[in-house]
Amino acid sequence: MKKELTTVNRQNNAAKNVKGILGGVLLFGIIFLSLIGPLVYQVDPRSTNLLQRLQPPALFSKASEHFLGTDQLGRDILSRLIYGARISLFVSLCSILIAIFLGVTLGMLAGYYGGWFDNLLMRIGDVQLSIPFLVLAISVIAVLGSGLVNVVLILGVTGWIQFGRVVRAETMHIKEREFVSSAIALGASDIRILFVHILPNIIPTTIVLTTFQFALLIIVESSLSFLGLGVQPPAASWGSMINDGKTYIQTAWWLSTIPGCMITLLVLGANLFGDWLRDRLDPHLQQQA
């Protein structure tokens, strides 16, 4: 069923893929830069230089030696941005892995077995969702203390429900399909059915959800750091950089604005990429259904 490459089709294909290319470039570009950045741009993000404080970005002032300027302690913004990216991305990645692990496992079990377990899980999820996230986060941090590990744990444990609900619904749909009944009739164990038949079929949906949740977690982590609940100084995440710069926003606007722009670009990239991925995977799924 090969599609002829008419002009219209070519244009459609290109248009469809622009989202994916743009999103991919933004998302993976930022990730890539955060990884190789320190090797290429070897400026210590922590070295302070009070003579150089509050320098504007090089684009806006011929005198400045720093590409993106300096903050109130003279630390180079670009360097802090790169190291901050690592922290923001690391936190989001770790928490999303926790959320995926919990969400997929519990969601599959709830969807497959149903009954009281399903009810219990969904009610716990409802309770979690009914509490505003920041309120929940502040309460937990008040008890456990702030810091990298705790932030990762909170984001992971509260994020599971997003995956759990979707995976549960997918599982309930898939287990009614005849290839699962055939496997049962052949004598397959429940574990085999969950891992060999159900799990591979929920992966596409999970991947798409991951990209969107990833974007969300970046924002959430930034919010926590902005409030001073996330990573502590001198470590910088983008959120805490925005926080540090908020008192200078009238004068040294680049302190808050630049990290803010980076967050926007990363989230935009993740969402565009997720959109494209979902569009690509959906028709396939419908073909196979």
Binding region for another protein (CB under 8 A): 177-179, 181-189, 192, 196-197, 200-201, 287-289
Q: Which CB atom, from 251 or from 288, has the smaller least distance to another protein?
A: 288
Q: Which CB atom, from 151 or from 193, has the smaller least distance to another protein?
A: 193
CA dist., res. 175 & res. 87, Å (int): 40
CA dist., res. 19 & res. 272, Å (int): 6
Minimum separation from the CB atom of position 206 to another protein (A): 13
Sign (positive or negative) of CA dihedral 17, 213, 33, 221: positive
The token pair that represents 30 in the structure block: 């930022």
Minimum separation from the CB atom of position 178 to another protein (A): 4
Minimum separation from the CB atom of position 101 to another protein (A): 20
**Distance, CA of 234 to chain centre:** 23
CB 70 within 8 A of CB 91: no
Q: Which CB atom, from 251 or from 287, has the smaller least distance to another protein?
A: 287
Q: How many CB atoms lie within 10 A of CB 35?
A: 13
Minimum separation from the CB atom of position 203 to another protein (A): 8
Q: Which CB atom, from 25 or from 183, has the smaller least distance to another protein?
A: 183
Q: Which residues contact 27 (CB under 8 A, 6 or more apart)?
A: 211, 266, 269, 270, 272, 273
Minimum separation from the CB atom of position 288 to another protein (A): 4
Q: Which CB atom, from 89 or from 174, has the smaller least distance to another protein?
A: 174
